[in-house]
Structure 1
């Protein structure tokens, strides 16, 4: 934010816009939007504007003096010099110190509650008395007129982190903090509409009388209060005037620099603004900048009751006293949506650091007979429709190696899901890393049912006690299946007859699911063209895992 109004220091990207910004208020209202013809351009507006505008040559030692913005330079260097001189020559009185702090907050609120949230973002409506008070307090901060300040700030929001941003964080910390005010910018900043401000009587009055208001509210008024109040004229000038100006200047400047450098991005990380408590402390509550850039018309900067935002509290108090109204808040749903999106993104980034199990689509589908046969060579256990190689885990099993050894070559689904012990989510995730195949039908009973179905269709007796008929019938098939159901392991979930099924993948493959649920889904068997494809059983397990 510029300290003093200077029409030549923030030109617009096109001549018509520059004339609109710096002509009288009555003329500004009637000027057409210079961007109207650019809405249909095929390229990025920022790129087009930067390419078409004229740029000043690079700053060198030979042209440095001609590129310094002298008004701002003096306004930024004289107050610190006066402050140090005052500290060396004038004793600090307690009353003067308290008055300096109070006036710091008054003029600071003139910027944050007035220039920023009322006029730049229109986040609430203020009565005429409150507008005049904030306009005077803002003038006492010596940061330019309302119209000039808000024009630059709207450009900052519209073109954040681009070449059209007057204090882009991408140009460096010190440039965004103070450098952009010390030297002339190489190019013009982006266009911003301020027609609403040009219609405001208070804004026009302050803009027309800014120099006189700045001198009076910046130095004369704080000096007079201390002088007439308790006789400390020198202290009022050096401390409540000059030293207070230094603090309120850099408090505002930290919004452009520190708030784009320190903190977190809980709502969006597309641009540089960040949230941080320290920044809020030094900027009269403007430190939750990531929220502000996402929801700029919200009268709050901090949404939690415990977050430091005296500007929000001031505006709320004024509304209760009848001096402010129509306090704007973004919908809570949209705010939570931004937070949720960033949390998901953070989880996604963290998930990339985790070794996940082989996806079920990449595992071979194995017949029960093949599983039983290969389990004689290595430690394979069927659980939840998947075949697991537990060779490297047997000795590390918390319940003892004997339990794992007893389960080798069997379907241990019932035992794993509570028959012996209801395993934790961590156990589910660890087990998933040991997958080497998928069991046809999803579990032992389903495999046996499929086997019985194939043999019945081919007129090959599956069980001499049940299938003695030479011809196939629905009754014989159902009888076989019923017998197999009676032979299922204890506590194993009941199987469905009509189609082969397998349980859905455990939570380790579903990022947003925490608890495993026994849901069922069709297996790859539903894609087989004939019983011959199923009977072939040509799939095989991958080689054993290295110990």
Structure 2
């Protein structure tokens, strides 16, 4: 330990420059365009494209484990130790390689770093430097061809195929200068093969052998079978966690949250949260969610071996959740029929309204003219209450003068709009907006357009037929118009085409 501190002091003068210091702003597009990937793996070229080192590490342990299960009885003590060693080496990856070194989610004391570095070597997944470099590339280039385990290439590829076969393309550049400047990481990388043999094979064989005489069981179960479980536990973070579950924080990329994935990955299954907040030492934020890695880090902090545990501000976490809830609500809203906007209705003079009310059951409420013919026989108060208001302004009666109508009645009435009274509706008042639209889900782009629209109306005169390119309407022009998905807050096809993939970040509640 003393020599390591001396090396830390000596290495301060030898610092590595980040490799991504001078990459172009369009690095991803430029790299994909200017570099050619290797040809796809086929049955003809499969043998030539196999990465034999990693394939050997992934195939020999399960073969030996199966042989051991067929020839060696499993003792209860050996089974318990194998489970214990699974968690030790698994935490070396999840708490060490992943959250400490790849994401710098907390600080660990030097003794804890040694333990995690040794335990991680026992998981046989490469050195800290190699593992973290690939994982940082995965986060920076998620779901692109610069992502070494791109989930879009299929479940098999993201789980194990990317290690069995040579990479089709070099992973995107990712800075690991902090690890290159870390003497402990350099030490682990230099002696990785020896550490691997010590922690992955020798230790789990010797302990059962010396303690209760089960040398073969220790080798076949605590070493080989345990290693198979650790491998596929970690691999599920790259595959299952991008396929199974929900996206409560962001659906821009493939990572998902699911309890089953958490159980098989020592707590790494709340992957949608992790990709949104990768520097957070937690993977699960609720107390009842399974995340033993978080619990381990927390306990280490209680006894002084870990510090500066990073947690993303709760307010920002809840914003992510709210954004997704709003998006789901918008999808529901898009599936409904909504009232025709005042911008899409003809403007009618009072005289024309009076004339046409003689032959049609037309009622004026809050500046809108409504054709109530379809509802007269359904009106709970009877036809006579509607009949006496035909051709009149029934705003006072509708808004509590005779009866304080329910939200459902307001929403239904808005669907009967056929025109706007000229001079009777300046800006849409609170009364003119049905309850279903008073908290309207609207994109930022549409909101800006509405504000500009309102300012223009206020400045130039509201609902002028000529400004809207229409003559003042006659009643024979009033037809049933299709309702836009979200009333005046709906986006037309042009807005959709011009929106960015991250457009849902602009979702907000619009208080009309």
TM-score range normalised by the length of the shorter chain: 0.7 to 0.9
Alpha-carbon separation, structure 2, partners of 1:102 and 1:240: 9
* Residue pairs, 1:69-468, within 5 angstroms: 69-442=51-424
SS of residue matched to 2:257: coil
Q: CA distance change for structure 1 residues 440 and 147 in 2, over 3 Å: closer, same or farther?
A: same
How much has 1:50 moved relative to structure 2?
Answer: 3.5
Determine the C-alpha separation between the residues in 2 that align with 1:191 and 1:538: 63
* Cα separation, 2, equivalents of 1:289 and 1:423: 47
Q: Which runs of 5+ in 1 are unaligned?
A: 1-24, 444-499, 515-520, 531-536
Deviation, structure 1 residue 100: 1.7
The structural deviation recorded for 1:94 is: 2.1
What is the CA-CA distance between 1:321 and the residue it aligns to? Answer: 1.1
Larger deviation, residues 104-113 vs 337-346:
337-346
Aligned to 1:185, what secondary structure does the other structure show? coil
Cα distance, 1:324 vs structure 2? 0.5
SS in 2 for 1:307: coil
- Alignment partners' CA distance in 1, 2:158 and 2:130: 18
Q: Map Cα deviations across residues 247-276 of structure 1 (whole Å, 9 max, x no partner).
A: 111111011111111222222222211122
Large movers: runs of 4+ above 6 Å: 25-28, 521-526
Shift of 1:435: 0.2
Give the whole-Å Cα distance in 1 for the aligned partners of 2:460 and 2:350.
17
Partner of 2:473: 539
**Contact conserved, 1:356 with 1:509, CA < 8 A, in 2?**
no
CA spacing shift, 1:32–1:376, aligned 2, 3 Å: same
With over 3 angstroms needed to count, the CA separation of the structure-2 counterparts of 1:432 and 1:202, relative to structure 1, is same
Deviations 1:45-100 (A, max 9, x none): 12322344464444444543232111211111112112222222222222222222
TM-score, normalising length: structure 2:
0.81
Aligned CA distance change for structure 1 residues 211 and 28 (closer, same or farther; 3 Å): farther
Inter-partner Cα distance in structure 2 for 1:275 and 1:310? 16
RMSD after superposition? 3.0
Which residue does the alignment assign to 1:527? 461
Q: 1:314 to 1:32 in 2, by over 3 A?
A: closer
Q: How many residues align?
A: 452
The structure 2 residue matched to 1:39, chosen from 24, 27, 34, is 24
Please report how far the alpha carbon of residue 29 of structure 1 lies from its aligned counterpart in structure 2 after TM superposition.
5.5
* CA distance 1:131–1:524, shift in 2 (3 Å): closer
CA separation in 2, counterparts of 1:376 and 1:321? 86
**CA positional deviation for 1:332:** 2.3
The answer to which of 389-398 and 500-509 deviates more is: 500-509
| 2:410/2:435 contact within 8 Å kept | yes
Higher relative contact order (CA 8 A, sep 6+): 2
Query: SS state of the match for residue 288, structure 2?
Result: coil
Structure 2 gap ranges (5+): 1-9, 442-453, 465-470, 482-512
Counterpart-to-counterpart distance in 1, 2:231 and 2:428: 68
- Specify whether residues 129 and 398 from structure 1 end up closer, same or farther in structure 2 by C-alpha distance, changes over 3 A only: farther
Tell me if the contact between 2:19 and 2:174 (Cα under 8 Å) persists in the aligned partners. no
Q: TM-score, normalised by structure 1?
A: 0.76
Structure 2 contact 20–174 (Cα < 8 Å) conserved? no
**Structure 1 residue 286: Cα displacement:** 0.9
For residue 439 of structure 2, give the secondary structure of its aligned residue in structure 1: coil
Deviation at 1:545, TM superposition (A): 5.7
CA distance in 1, matches of 2:13, 2:54: 25
In the alignment, the residues of structure 1 paired with residue 234 and residue 59 of structure 2 have an alpha-carbon distance, to the nearest angstrom, of 16
Q: Equivalent residue for 1:449?
A: none
**Structure-2 change in CA distance of 1:371 and 1:75 (3 Å):** same
Q: Radius of gyration: which is bigger?
A: 1
Give yes or no for contact 2:346–2:478 (8 Å, CA) kept in 1.
Answer: no
Deviation at 1:229, TM superposition (A): 2.6
- DSSP-derived class of the 1:224 partner: helix
CA distance in 2, matches of 1:398, 1:80: 74
What's 1:512 paired with? 439
Structure 1 CA distance for aligned equivalents of residues 459 and 421 of structure 2:
10
CA contact (8 A) 2:248 2:324 kept: yes
